[in-house]
Structure 1
Amino acid sequence: MKLFRNTFAVTAFLAGTALLSCGSSPKNQTQAEETTAETSEVQVPAFNADSAFAYVKAQTDFGPRVPNTAAHRACGDYLAGQLEKFGAKVYNQQTDLMAYDGTLLKARNIIGAYNPDSKKRVMLCAHWDCRPYADQDEAANHKKPIDGANDGASGVGVLLEIARQLQQQAPTIGVDIIFFDAEDYGTPDFYEGQHKPDTWCLGSQYWGRIPHVPDYKARFGILLDMVGGKNATFMYEGYSKRTANNAMKKIWNMAEKLGYGNYFIKKDGGEVTDDHIYVNLFRQIPCVDIIHYDMQSDTGFNPTWHTLDDTIDNIDKGTLQAVGQTVMGVIYNEK
């Protein structure tokens, strides 16, 4: 994922589109009780931030989940196993994807489908791989992989907790949880070779062209990226606003209703190159990117972004709670 404040061309077919990207740069309240959270319309299960935090830590305990590593393979098995344990119909998309420098990445998209026969569907997604480069850190660390606690694992952790809740109380619609791979293997600034387009979000590009089931459709998607940072704020991401405005407003209104308006700010943030773009481009599914946008940062992202400081110590349960409960409020209110 990469965030930019200025205009750049993402690809030939996106030429002229200004984007902030997740590969390069754009209060705390824990409810651990297994009780019921109320909205004005339906009863929604209570999101458990302690549980989500444990799922984040479980991923980081494998080490950096960089494609072609043992940690990546082991964590992929763990994620697929957890979705199966939580009652999902699990699909594994295993394929070779070409990185910016010609490296073949042994990639794996992992999908868990709930109520797979329903035509009324919402998709929830996050990327599960790690950036192989701490290229926003000091120069000596640029070629070291990051733990990716926030940038990757936080969104996956939230979705695993949602999967656990879906097994216990099914919503009226079908839900697909998708863990995209090879999102964060985009071209680093230090690379001296030819800079090609579309080197970020390789897993979602593959899934967009070849979904896990033929002619896959969903009402809308919600992408979670960097949703565990301390003092996080989520603003209207530009591409989401243009292509998924109705779903975006639904999410931010739900957050306000649940008391999380200090996290979900109803103001325009940056524009990000992230998996939601390819979900929309290739599947025509409006997809909202919930991503931490920091107006005070030079990059637009959390200070730990693409640095060795992106560790479990910098994950905040209050932020996980705000995001998880909001997303659950949305999907359980779909009819």
Structure 2
Amino acid sequence: MQNQITQFIKLPLLLSVVALISLGSGCNNTGSKKSSSKEDKTLPKLQTPDFNADSAYSYVQKQVDFGPRVPNTPEHEETAKWLTAKMESMGADVIVQEGKVTAFDNSILNIKNIIAQFQPEKNNRILLFAHWDTRPFADHDPDPAKRNQPIDGANDGASGVGVLMEIARHLKDNPTHPGIDIIFFDAEDYGTPDHLNVEYKPDTWCLGSQYWGKNPHKKNYYAQYGILLDMVGAKNARFYQEQASIRFAPKLVNHIWDTAASIGYGSYFIFQQGGYITDDHIYVNKHTGIPAVNIIQYDPSTNTSFGSYWHTHNDTMENIDRNTLKAVGQTVMEVIYKDRY
């Protein structure tokens, strides 16, 4: 492990080894808390549907067309309505979890976590999630005059949601063996900005997943595992194995990366460690114990370890590549359709 943690962090909060051990306790494999099933060995093999990259791209484009999806704005409200209606049209049982959270500047954000349940009657479940909000500031933009303006968030936000929506499109007519829950978390990207002279406050990122973790949509909710998609659409993106994910669910990390290689996407999924990244998977694991893996772009050639467009006004549709959406989406589909539980 390279001793350059600050280079690897998406968000400013560094995770100490002690914190990781505490968060990851008891979650080192994908089998913890699994419900037993007598049918496991007799379940038929499922054919993995074809992930349509054009469809995923259109879902990303639609989100960006609404404008920046910042909590407490009309654009945010309209996007939430569209996401809810679209997921319902795909056959999901949708819950819109509304709440109020406190931002780094003590402002109150009205958030909406959009929870789409497929086969909700099943006890064995897989959780797929992404954040749908966008950064209210472009704190890394090269132009200081534009840093207080919200960004489009085509890759940082919309790409993960777009991939999950394309996966959801198949789940009604091609159900998986486990039930699937897809959650679009809100207020992930409202953390303390780097460009303002304000005191840093911990836990100001991932406010939606923190809220859900403390108030799950079902009492004692649990899933076999979770997969987070964050920044999964950029051209030539590379996905290294994020270290908190390795701590929480090492077998699942290897399974996902092996699966990607087996279906021809090994050039995207790199068998090397990335960094510790504060993201929604941290709080999902912390509050529910669900072993969760973060599939997130890592770019060692940039100062932030993410794309040069990250948290700038260059995070636009020009960065979104159908081949990357396909690599991630098909890999995740292969994992969930081959799951025998």
TM (normalized to structure 2)? 0.88
Q: Is the 8 A contact 1:10 1:17 kept in 2?
A: no
Partner AA of 1:189 in structure 2: D
| Corresponding residue number in structure 1 for 2:321 | 316
1:117 paired residue number: 121
Aligned residues: 310
- Poorly superposed stretches of 4+, deviation over 4 Å: 6-9, 13-18
Q: Tell me, yes or no, if the aligned pair for 2:46 and 2:176 is still in contact at 8 Å.
A: no
Q: How does 1:1-335 map to 2 (within 5 A)?
A: 4-5=6-7, 10=13, 17=19, 42-138=46-142, 139-335=144-340
Displacement after TM superposition at 1:314 (Å): 1.2
SS of corresponding position for 1:57: helix
In structure 2, distance between residues paired with 1:208 and 1:137:
32
Contiguous gaps of at least 5 residues in structure 2:
21-44
Q: Which whole-Å deviations, capped at 9, do the CAs of 1:133-191 have from their partners, x for residues lacking one?
A: 11111212110110000000000000000000112210111000000000000000233
2:133 and 2:263 mapped to 1: Cα distance?
31
What displacement does 1:302 show? 1.1
Distance 1:14 1:203 in 2: 22
1:17 deviates by 4.7
Structure 1, residues 47-104: CA drift from partner, whole Å, max 9, x if none?
0000000000000000000011100000011111111000001011111110000111
Counterpart Cα distance in 2 of 1:161 and 1:148: 18
Question: Counterparts of 2:49 and 2:110 in 1: how far apart (Å)?
Answer: 37
Q: 1:55 to 1:312 in 2, by over 3 A?
A: same
Q: Which whole-Å CA distance do the structure 2 matches of 1:262 and 1:175 have between them?
A: 28
Give 1:192 shift.
Answer: 2.6
Distance 1:58 1:10 in 2: 31
- Aligned 8 A contact 1:65 1:72 in 2: yes
Give the % identical residues: 52
**Partner Cα distance (2:18, 2:67) in 1:** 38
Cα separation, 1, equivalents of 2:57 and 2:195: 33
Cα 1:308–1:251, aligned 2, differ >3 Å: closer, same or farther? same
Q: Which amino acid aligns with 1:109?
A: N
Offset, 1:238: 0.6
Q: Letter of the aligned partner of 2:241 in structure 1?
A: Y
Task: Write the distance in 2 (CA, Å) between the matches of 1:300 and 1:193.
Answer: 23
How far, CA to CA, are the matches of 1:162 and 1:312 in structure 2? 20
SS at match of 2:193: coil
Residues 279, 187 of structure 1: CA spacing in aligned structure 2 closer, same or farther, 3 A cutoff? same
Q: Return the alpha-carbon distance in structure 2 between the equivalents of residues 256 and 42 of structure 1.
A: 20
2: CA distance, partners of 1:4 / 1:66:
26
TM-score (normalised: structure 1): 0.89
- Residues 192-230 of structure 1: CA deviation (Å, up to 9, x unaligned): 333211000000000111111111000000000000001
Deviations 1:302-335 (A, max 9, x none): 1111010101121000000000000000000111
CA gap 1:250/1:15 in 2 versus in 1, 3 angstroms: closer
Q: Alignment RMSD, CA only?
A: 1.8
For 2:146 and 2:246, locate their aligned partners in 1 and report how far apart those are by CA, in whole Å: 35
- Report the counterpart of residue 38 of structure 1 in structure 2: none
